[in-house]
Structure 1
Amino acid sequence: MERINKQAQSQTYQDKPVIQEHQQSDGGPPVLNEKEEVKEYLKAESQNDSGDESSSHQNQIDTHFKPSDPLIINNYMYIKEIYNVNLSPTLISLTTHNCSNIRVIKKSIRKEKLINETQLGYARNECIIHSQLKHENIVELYDYTETDKEIVLFMEFCNDANYFEEKIEASLTPIMNQYKLQSYANDILQGVDYLHSIGVIHSDLKLQNALVNRPDADDSDCGELPIVKLCDFGLSHIMSTEYGGKALMVEKCGTSGYIAPEIGTKNTLVGPEIDLWSFGVMLYEMCTAYKPTKLLNYRYGIEIGGSIINILKIQSRDALKWILKKELLRLKPYSILGFKMTQEIDLNDKVHHP
């Protein structure tokens, strides 16, 4: 069932982790009661805080593939193509929902371009996992379906989706505003913490998979910052008690420069720590506009800790120190940017630290 909250009607799409909803009479996306939404959110937070350590990282994902009727495709009107690379199976388009006129992203995974059954499994796994994620720092998946030719996902539209890619990777401009950097990093950590809390490892965290949604003019005038939302769960893994609370990565996956060094070529047991490695690279890149792998003579496992802070611009340096102190109390800079992580890291007491 498609889910778009009340704020989505102004195209800000800032949904909460726990929601109550009612269905519109036209069969379109439901509208949320914001007061009840907040009450449920606070209630859930209280329950989470009272839980014991053994409840963390439990698998809460239903692993069944449940596509909607392919006729749902007719509920959306094509606007324009956003992404289409010849060798990629993925086609991304902007659409609008026929009844609500809300902008929605359509992601089509073309089966003819998938190399093998493993890739088809990853595509279906993306639908299974993403459809169950409900958090304001996760791009929401409204619905998905499968036809003979493609798997189609309809998801939340972010109005400045390519911000990090254009500013940092294309323009080579670091984020100089300390408060923005702190806010962006915290948003990413909140999303990652949520994923880990329900037993999901993203496995492909990178700047291209962190989308920005900016507030409308009125909220922006009040000083509200943009919100960062994580997307693309095509390589995600589900932690299992079968593997001691970790996940089995059958084949090495991820994006070069962001992949944790402990990931082997085949059959690697992985945990939340691989996402923390990738986050460290993202944070470094936001501060400097290049990956730590671009440093002269850099290689995995080499301690470059002293130089990491010193090479940053003053504003970004202060922000990085703040983040490392407040959000990653048990991590030193070199442990997330230059050392192999050998133990699981729990973010639960860090993303909520004052």
Structure 2
Amino acid sequence: MQTIGQGTFGTVKLSQHVVTRQKVAIKIIEKASVTEDKQRNSLQREIRLVQLLHHRHIVKVYDVLEDATAVFFIMEYVSGGELFDYIVQKRSLSEWEARIFFRQMLSAMDYCHKNSIIHRDLKPENLLIDSNKCVKIIDFGFGNTFHRDKFLTTFCGSPFYAAPEMLGAKSYVGPEVDVWSLGVILYAMVTGSLPFHTEVLPELLKRIKSAEYHMPSKLSPNLADLIRRMLTVDTKKRIKLSEIIKSK
């Protein structure tokens, strides 16, 4: 089988149903690579979450199989590749095109949040584009359920897209960290670069925790304002997903 993706714990292979000839992606997680209790819990949580989620902008998981050595996620095959590569290829997206993709992300994440599920690793590498130019969210390996009256403290995901409260080991409910990541993705789509980017980790953390970034003057005032409200350090002042949907 052809390898079409590689993650922290798993490899994604392209395969085909022997009867229907339908192409599928198979994410294979070797159990030998999952050595810690925290990792095992995350894997079991991912298995549970992907079987609950059914949305047109979330990659469909048809089945989860398991043997003595590995776990196999049998998934919808998305042929268009990662949003990351699409942005690199085009250098940046027009506000019109970015808005289409962004609305699809909002729809999927609104569905997740209404079902008390957070992703916690939203980034262009975890957003695939299908043949109809529709976004499909993948990889709920860091996903979790949340409760409005309880707090999480786990840091996970890429630091370039992580909310400052996660980096600062502060407690959070959940949806607000996805909103921050979506803000970083929106910025990346329309500028072709990341708002917070440096190879020096302490400097990167400093910039994220203070929301220190450059807003290009070419962006429309409404878009620039939305990005600022999403990349707000104070979680009480950060715009909520429901407000973004109403304003889009």
Alignment TM-score, normalising by the size of structure 1: 0.62
Matched, 1:290 2:193: yes
Q: Is the 8 A contact 2:159 2:167 kept in 1?
A: no
Amino acid at match of 2:138: C
Q: Which residue pairs with 1:145 in the alignment?
A: 65
Map of 1:342 onto structure 2: 236
Counterpart position of 2:152 = 248
Match of 2:43 in 1: 123
1:187 aligns with 2:109: no
Structure 1 equivalent of residue 11 of structure 2:
91
Letter in 1 for 2:215: I
Larger Rg: 1
Quote the Cα distance in structure 2 between the aligned partners of 1:247 and 1:152. 31
1:204 is matched with which residue?
121
> Are positions 1:81 and 2:6 aligned together?
no
Partner of 1:168: 87
What displacement does 1:99 show? 2.4
1:263-289 per-residue CA deviation (whole Å, 9 max, x = no partner) reads 157683332010000001001111111
Give 1:167 deviation, angstroms.
3.2
For 1:99 and 1:267, the matched residues in 2 are separated by: 51
**Which among 12, 31, 37 is matched to residue 111 of structure 1?**
31
Superposed CA deviations along residues 10-63 of structure 1, whole A, max 9, x for unmatched, are xxxxxxxxxxxxxxxxxxxxxxxxxxxxxxxxxxxxxxxxxxxxxxxxxxxxxx
Q: Match of 2:215? A: 308
Residues 197 and 228 (structure 1), Cα distance of their counterparts in 2 relative to 1, 3 Å cut:
same
Question: Match of 1:154, as an amino acid?
Answer: I
**1:184-240: CA deviation from partner (whole Å, max 9, x where unpaired):** 11111111111111100111100111110122xxxxxxxxxx111111000011013
CA–CA distance in 2 between the matches of 1:181 and 1:130?
26
Q: CA deviation at 1:173?
A: 0.8
What's the offset of the Cα at 1:179?
A: 2.2
- Given the superposition, is the C-alpha separation of residues 101 and 173 from structure 1 closer, same or farther in structure 2, using an over 3 Å criterion? same
- Distance in 1 (alpha carbons) for counterparts of 2:109 and 2:13: 26
Change beyond 3 A, Cα 1:333–1:143:
same
For residue 111 of structure 1, report the CA deviation from its aligned partner: 1.1
The answer as to whether partners of 1:188 and 1:228 remain within 8 angstroms in 2 is yes
Q: Distance between the aligned counterparts of 2:229 and 2:222, measured in 1?
A: 16
AA paired with 2:242?
Answer: N
- The answer for the alignment partner of 1:228 in structure 2 is 135
Note the aligned Cα RMSD (angstroms): 2.7
* SS class of match (2:179): helix
Distance 1:301 1:335 in 2: 15
Match of 1:154 in 2: 74
Q: Tell me the TM-score normalised to structure 2 length.
A: 0.86
| Contact 1:204–1:235 (8 Å) recurs in 2 | yes
Q: Which residue of 2 aligns with 1:333?
A: 227
- The answer for unaligned runs of 5 or more in structure 2 is none
1:269 correspondence with 2:191: no
Q: Secondary structure at the match of 1:131?
A: helix
Mapped to 2, the partners of 1:300 and 1:230 lie a distance apart of 24
Contact between 2:104 and 2:135, CA under 8 Å: does it hold in 1?
yes
Q: Which amino acid aligns with 2:178?
A: D
Q: How many residues matched?
A: 243
Question: Which amino acid in the other structure matches residue 128 of structure 1?
Answer: R
In the alignment, the residues of structure 1 paired with residue 238 and residue 245 of structure 2 have an alpha-carbon distance, to the nearest angstrom, of 16
Deviation (angstroms), 1:150: 1.0
How far does the alpha carbon of each residue in 1:79-99 deviate from its partner, in whole angstroms, 9 at most, with x for none? Answer: 4122347xx421110111222
